[in-house]
Amino acid sequence: MSLSVIRVSFSRQANDGDYGSETARCELEYTLTPEDDALARKELPELLLMDARKFVHAELTRSFNWKVRRAVAEPEVNNVALVEGEGGNELEDLPL
C-alpha cells in the first residue's frame, strides 16, 4: 500500500492572562498524484506544516484581544531574541 494523502494539523492556544484564551487551528490535506516525485513526497509534510503554522500564528496576531496578540508576539527579553538557526532555536545577543 502506498501513501496517497498527507494530512497535517497545527493548533496554538494563547492565554490572555484573565482566565480566557483563544485557540487557532489549521488542518491541511494534500492528495498525492502520480506526478509527485519521491523528493516532493518527502518534503510535502514539512512544507504543509510550515504553512499551517504560519496561518495559525497570523490569525492569533489579528485577535481583537490585545493580550492575546501580545502573547503570540516574538519573544524578546533583555536584548536577547529567539532566533531559528540550523541546529534549532538558539538565543542570539542583539546589538544595543
For 80, residues 6+ apart whose C-beta sits below 8 A from its C-beta are: 91, 92, 93, 94
Three-state DSSP state, 45: helix
Q: Is the pTM of this model over 0.85?
A: no
Poorest-pLDDT segment among 5-9, 13-17, 74-78: 74-78
The amino acid sitting at 48 is L
The answer to whether 10 touches 1, Cβ cutoff 8 Å, is no
Over residues 36-47, the pLDDT tens digits come to 888 777 889 999
Of 69, 31, 25, the C-alpha closest to 49 is: 25
Domain coordinates of the chain in residue numbers? 5-93
Over residues 55-96, the pLDDT tens digits come to 999 999 999 999 999 988 876 555 555 555 555 544 555 454
Cell of 78: 533583555
